[in-house]
Amino acid sequence: MTLHITNEVNATLNSYIEGGNYNAVMVLVDENTRQLVLPLLPCLNNAHIIEIAHGDRNKNLDTLVLVWRDMEDCGATRKSLLVNLGGGMVTDLGGFAAATFKRGIDFINVPTTLLGAVDAAIGGKTGINFNGLKNEIGAFAPATAVIVSTCFFPTLPEQEFKSGFAEILKHTMLYSHVKFALIQDFDFKNIDYEFLLELLKDSLLAKQHFVEQDPIEQGIRKALNFGHTVGHAFESKALSDGKPVPHGYAVAWGLVVESVLSHIMLQFPRTDLYALARFVRENYGAFYITCDHYDQLLDFMRHDKKSSNGEINCTLLKECGNPTINNTINEDDLKAALDIYRDLMGI
């Protein structure tokens, strides 16, 4: 997989289309990216357009079948290319469609959201939701290339932008104490896109660092799950209550709970915990829970892909830049951490 971080998206994509000797080029879009992004990429003028409905609730088998059929109907072969132009939903589903069509064709991801750029576009994770579970069916399949830019972000709604920023926050905590200090001053009201491009680059390099050491997630790559065991549980609870929350918001709240656990179990510094909690509270608000919800949340965590034998498993930090994977969390510590989370968030 080749990672490009550039605002010359059309030229970069075109070099693959021209040089790849493909007998067909297809582009997967949702209604938003078809309208707002596709017209900015003239190299795709002749591509066969496959449009799907946007949103995580459509990241399912029915949509996947439509994409497979559409690829079939337009005569795609093993020598065809699929360009995935959209957020994480489009790159996840499109990546899985490409990875499994005729046992795998080339695909290029062009993430159009901040979350897509930092979370879903590298690492080779593809998949769909199934049976009510997120990313339950999928594969590890590297894209031929990923083209990351900031040029599509100014049009993002604030909530979606912040959602993506939570993954940058996570990568920064995993990778460097110095950067974590810098990021605390990020101003969402007055975004510095130069600074953002730098943050994004650091963040992607941090992610690539972990992924390259461990492409199929048997060891250190699990560091990237920091915040996600609890975050996914918040997300699942919100979904089951019929009030879904953005993925990145759930991750931000998950980072706070797992930083509390890091403090309890590994002496993660109190000052960093307070700084994180302040940043999340001021920019993301809080996910409201009471102690009556603890058992339900623990149940979601036990069923997480990252857990086994019914034990809850988290990545935790000794300090920023120093993660440890495979921490088994006992129930009492987790409930204590949820208590402290509520305290820190003022709920």
CB of 102 to a second copy, least distance (A): 5
To 10 degrees, what angle do helices 270-284 and 331-345 make? 60
- SS3 at position 277: helix
- Residue 344 neighbours by CB under 8 Å, 6+ apart: 256, 260, 273, 274, 277, 281
Residue 105 tokens, joined: 């064709």
Residues 66-125 that bind a second copy (CB under 8 A): 68-69, 72, 77-79, 99-104, 125
Six-digit token string for 289: 């829970």
Residue 347 found at the interface with a second copy (CB under 8 A): no
Closest to a second copy by CB, 36 or 61: 61
15 lies in the binding site for a second copy (CB under 8 A): no
Query: What is the closest distance, in whole angstroms, from the C-beta atom of residue 284 to a second copy in the complex?
Result: 28
Nearer to a second copy, 68 or 195 (CB): 68
Binding-site size, a second copy (CB under 8 A): 33
- Is 46 one of the binding residues for a second copy (CB under 8 A)? no
Smallest separation, CB 254 to a second copy (Å):
20
Q: Choose the binding region for a second copy from 28-36, 136-144, 268-276, 334-342 (rule: CB under 8 A).
A: 136-144
Closest to a second copy by CB, 45 vs 309, is 309
Site residues (CB under 8 A) for a second copy, limited to 298-337: 305, 307-309
The overall longest dimension of the chain from CA atoms, in Å, is: 59
What is the number of other CB atoms lying within 10 angstroms of the CB of residue 142?
18
Between strands 322-329 and 312-319, the pairing is antiparallel
Q: Whose CA is closest to 302, among 243, 230, 225, 206?
A: 230
Q: Which two tokens stand for residue 315?
A: 């990545």
Spatial contact of 307 and 301, defined as CB atoms under 8 Å apart: yes
The residue range among 132-140, 164-172, 261-269, 318-326 that interacts with a second copy, by the rule CB under 8 A, is 132-140
Residues near a second copy (CB under 8 A) = 23, 61, 65, 68-69, 72, 77-79, 99-104, 125-127, 130-131, 133, 135-141, 216, 305, 307-309
